[in-house]
């Protein structure tokens, strides 16, 4: 069984129901444009009856989107359906999506209706929606907790009333894959007229099974998956679009299907949704997480450097990520360290490489994150013996709450002693400004951090600074019991490294 699986994206409707993920009209239109670029089949733009803002957003999206179909949600009553259609009528390819719950739990406690009343309401809603719009989707809310016989009866009635898509939601993420697959198979086998419509699924992730349930539904005959970017949505979220799409693309042996999604736009779409909603993508999130194509284990790094297939089942480029990331840390091995050194443009002898690697391991035990500049610092200072053009000779700083911070600095520059004084917003600022005046450098300070490396009031402070100049960045470090002196040492250390880079003394 093969064929096209339609992707119905509900980021702008169900995804927005995530706590704190509310979007304004302009933001929704921007995401809709990106979803169309991603080539989703259907964009569910919102729930027009819910608010004036949602109505306006659906209307603007309907006017803007030209290739993808645009859907709007409505409950099974005339007022909802008319409001949805008023927002949707400018769409080139509109879909009216109406729903009502079918589980006894919802009937008893939420709707307070009988099965016959629900059946009658579903028929009337679909029939009326059909008079306004050619394409009508009907959803049986909480289908997975519904009586199967009643569910089948409602679906058959909706098809007779004119529905073109039947959606089976696992509204509370209750089903497990074997159970959900069996339900979809039963519907395919027993519902009269099911072959005339698109069978869709909409799975929630309360048990972490939304993607698994969606995939098993496809294997059992569903041909549309309702999902969201980054899997956002109510409670634990929805089926993740990127995970379903890439699972189908990667496992053709078990999933001989295809979607019309253009995968290279997945990462950019993920980042846009994250930025607009403020919902940060967890680092270990499949496909689009920061660590999805990052490797720190020495064994993994060695394998990846020899053959990417050893630890990557898809390329980062296939989803719009520039490249595999080799993250250097305490678990990294010599092979990865050597490749990083080469990548940074340094060519050093094997015995020097061993010295640098040992120094790197010592640093990695102390430091959580290792920057490229840290590696360069090790190579330059431990192996290449960087010459120090700038040296601190003398430093005196006057500061307090009733005086302007003033620094007097004496330095040796190319063997010549120079002294200057300068003011600043604080003692460190005054010191740095005076050093810049003496050295006549134009580096920009990106980062300044102080850590105590011993305990007590006489603790030795270690200062780290990060400088940037014309696209080049360096890290400088200095230690002293006086943090102002430590700061000056760190700044001068960084300036020496920047000068070393400028001179291009390293063989490339």
Residue 478 has pLDDT above 70, yes or no: yes
The pLDDT value given to residue 277: 92
d(CA 372, CA 467): 13
Q: Which of 298-307, 315-324, 437-446, 466-475 has the lowest average pLDDT? A: 298-307
Three-class SS string for 332-386? Answer: CCHHHHHHHHHHCCCCCCHHHHHHHHHHHHHHHHHCCCCCHHHHHHHHHHHHCCC
Question: How crowded is the C-beta side of 374, counted as CA atoms within 13 Å?
Answer: 18
Q: Show the beta-strand stretches assigned E in 23-66.
A: 42-46
d(CA 157, CA 193): 10
The pLDDT value given to residue 144: 98
The pLDDT value given to residue 385: 63
Hey, which residues does 389 pair with through a beta bridge?
Answer: none
Query: Domain 3-277, what architecture?
Result: Alpha-Beta Barrel (3.20)
Segments in 65-205 forming alpha helices (H): 78-88, 104-106, 115-132, 148-161, 177-190
The pLDDT value given to residue 374: 78
Mean pLDDT score, 242-252:
97
The pLDDT value given to residue 183: 98
d(CA 378, CA 497): 11
Residue 303 has pLDDT above 60, yes or no: yes
d(CA 101, CA 507): 71
Look up tokens 């970017």; give the residue: 229
- The reported pTM is 0.74
Mean pLDDT score, 420-449:
93
DSSP state of 264: G
Residues 6+ away with beta carbon under 8 Å from 201: 167, 168, 169, 170, 180, 184, 213, 214, 217, 222, 224, 225, 226
Residue 454 has pLDDT above 60, yes or no: no
Confidence bin at 386 (pLDDT 50/70/90): low
Percent of the chain with pLDDT over 70: 95
Cβ-based burial of 473 (10 A; exposed 0-12, middle 13-18, buried ≥19): buried
Look up tokens 């959900």; give the residue: 180
d(CA 184, CA 369): 48
pLDDT digits (tens, 9 = 90+) for 3-50: 999 999 999 999 888 887 788 999 999 999 999 999 999 999 999 999
C-alpha 76 chain-centroid distance: 35
Beta 294-295 vs 257-258: how paired, if at all? unpaired
Segments in 139-231 forming alpha helices (H): 148-161, 177-190, 210-219
Could you tell me which CATH class the domain 390-503 is placed in? Answer: alpha beta
Going from N- to C-terminal start, the domains of the chain cover 3-277, 294-383, 390-503
Q: What is the mean pLDDT of the chain?
A: 91
The pLDDT value given to residue 506: 41
The pLDDT value given to residue 458: 54
Rg, Å, the chain Cα set: 31
Q: Which of 320-334, 359-373, 413-427 has the lowest average pLDDT? A: 359-373
Residues in the chain: 508
pLDDT digits (tens, 9 = 90+) for 160-218: 999 999 999 999 999 999 999 999 999 999 999 999 999 999 999 999 999 999 999 99
Q: Which of 131-145, 364-378, 386-400 has the lowest average pLDDT? A: 364-378
pLDDT digits (tens, 9 = 90+) for 132-147: 999 999 999 999 999 9
The pLDDT value given to residue 334: 85
d(CA 228, CA 214): 13
The pLDDT value given to residue 453: 57
The pLDDT value given to residue 472: 85
pLDDT digits (tens, 9 = 90+) for 40-96: 999 999 999 999 999 999 999 999 999 999 999 999 999 999 999 999 999 999 999
The pLDDT value given to residue 508: 37
Mean pLDDT score, 237-266:
97
């Amino acid at each position: 069984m093969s064929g096209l699986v339609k992707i119905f994206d509900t980021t702008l409707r169900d995804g927005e129901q995530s706590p704190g993920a509310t979007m304004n009209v302009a933001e929704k239109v921007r995401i809709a444009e990106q979803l169309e670029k991603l080539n989703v089949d259907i964009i569910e733009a919102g729930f027009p009856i819910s608010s004036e803002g949602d109505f306006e957003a659906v209307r603007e999206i309907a006017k803007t989107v030209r290739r993808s179909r645009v859907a709007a949600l409505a409950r099974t009553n005339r007022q909802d359906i008319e409001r949805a259609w008023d927002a949707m009528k400018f769409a080139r390819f509109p879909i009216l999506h109406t729903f009502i719950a079918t589980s006894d739990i919802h009937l008893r406690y939420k709707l307070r209706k009988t099965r016959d009343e629900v059946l009658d309401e579903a028929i009337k809603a679909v029939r009326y929606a059909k008079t306004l719009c050619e394409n009508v989707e009907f959803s049986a809310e909480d289908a997975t907790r519904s009586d199967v016989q009643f569910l089948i009866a409602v679906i058959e009635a909706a098809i007779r009333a004119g529905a073109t898509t039947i959606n089976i939601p696992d509204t509370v993420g209750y089903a497990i894959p074997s159970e959900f697959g069996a339900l979809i198979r039963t519907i395919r086998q027993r519902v009269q007229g099911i072959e005339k419509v698109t069978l869709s699924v909409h799975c929630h992730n309360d048990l972490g099974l939304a993607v698994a349930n969606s995939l098993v539904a496809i294997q059992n005959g569903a041909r549309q998956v309702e999902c969201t970017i980054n899997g956002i949505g109510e409670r634990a979220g929805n089926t993740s679009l990127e995970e379903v799409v890439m699972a189908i693309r990667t496992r053709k042996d078990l999933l001989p299907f295809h979607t019309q999604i253009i995968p290279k736009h997945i990462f950019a779409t993920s980042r846009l949704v994250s930025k607009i909603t403020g919902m940060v993508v967890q680092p270990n999130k499949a496909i689009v997480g920061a660590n999805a194509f990052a490797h720190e284990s020495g064994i993994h790094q060695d394998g990846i450097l020899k053959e990417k297939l050893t630890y990557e089942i898809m390329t980062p480029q296939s989803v719009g990520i520039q490249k595999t990331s080799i993250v250097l840390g305490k678990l990294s091995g010599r092979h990865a360290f050597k490749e990083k050194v080469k990548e940074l443009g340094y060519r050093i002898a094997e015995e020097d490489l061993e010295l640098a690697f040992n120094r790197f391991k010592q640093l990695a035990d102390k430091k959580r994150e290792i920057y490229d500049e840290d590696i360069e610092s090790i190579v330059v200072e431990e192996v290449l013996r960087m010459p120090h053009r700038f040296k601190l000779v003398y430093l005196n700083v006057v500061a307090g709450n009733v005086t302007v911070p003033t620094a007097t600095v004496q330095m040796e520059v190319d063997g010549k002693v120079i002294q200057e004084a300068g003011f600043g917003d604080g003692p460190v600022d005054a010191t740095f400004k005076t050093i810049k005046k003496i050295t006549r450098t134009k580096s920009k300070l990106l980062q300044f951090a102080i850590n105590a490396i011993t305990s007590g009031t006489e603790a030795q402070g270690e200062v780290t600074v990060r400088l940037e100049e014309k696209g080049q960045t360096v890290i400088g470090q200095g230690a002293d019991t006086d943090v102002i002196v430590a700061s000056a040492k760190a700044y001068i250390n960084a300036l020496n490294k920047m000068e070393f880079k400028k001179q291009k003394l390293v063989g490339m």
